[in-house]
Amino acid sequence: MSIPCEVIEDLVSLYKDRAVQPKTASVVNSHLKSCPECRKYYRIYDSVEYRRAASTLKPPPITTTEAKYAVLSSRLRRYRKRLLAGVATIGLILTGAVV
């Protein structure tokens, strides 16, 4: 059974990640051994994946706007907690007064 190269090219990423069934891996492996074009495609894919994994991307520095937003956000969170605690306390007092 001959599998078209287009199908093998679609399976290369899954094959590389070992996310295929053993029988599928065997078929892809034997096709790669017999087909120079697909072997070349696999080598190119493998080198691109290696470079992508090896690259270290540094996150961009935090801008002053982002820093100000982070401070404001933490203050709002604290304010909301205090407000909620106050509302809950008033609710408990009113519930106790009614009972």
Secondary structure, 3-state, the chain = CCCCHHHHHHHHHHHHCCCCCHHHHHHHHHHHHHCHHHHHHHHHHHHHHHHHHHCCCCCCCCCHHHHHHHHHHHHHHHHHHHHHHHHHHHHHHHHHHHC
Using one digit for the tens of pLDDT, what is the confidence trace for 25-51? Answer: 999 999 999 999 999 999 988 887 767
Same domain, 41 and 9: yes
Q: State how far the Cα of 1 lies from the Cα of 23, in Å rounded to an integer.
A: 13
Decide if 75 is inside a domain. Answer: yes
Same domain, 44 and 81: no
| Total number of domains constituting the chain | 2
pTM of the model: 0.50
Q: State how far the Cα of 99 lies from the Cα of 96, in Å rounded to an integer.
A: 5
Boundaries of domain holding 39: 5-54
Same domain, 14 and 43: yes
- The segment with the largest mean pLDDT, out of 18-32, 44-58, 63-77, is 18-32
Question: Which of the four pLDDT bands, split at 50, 70 and 90, describes residue 55?
Answer: low
Q: What is the model's pLDDT at position 60?
A: 72
Using one digit for the tens of pLDDT, what is the confidence trace for 90-99? Answer: 999 988 877 7
Same domain, 44 and 19: yes
Same domain, 74 and 36: no
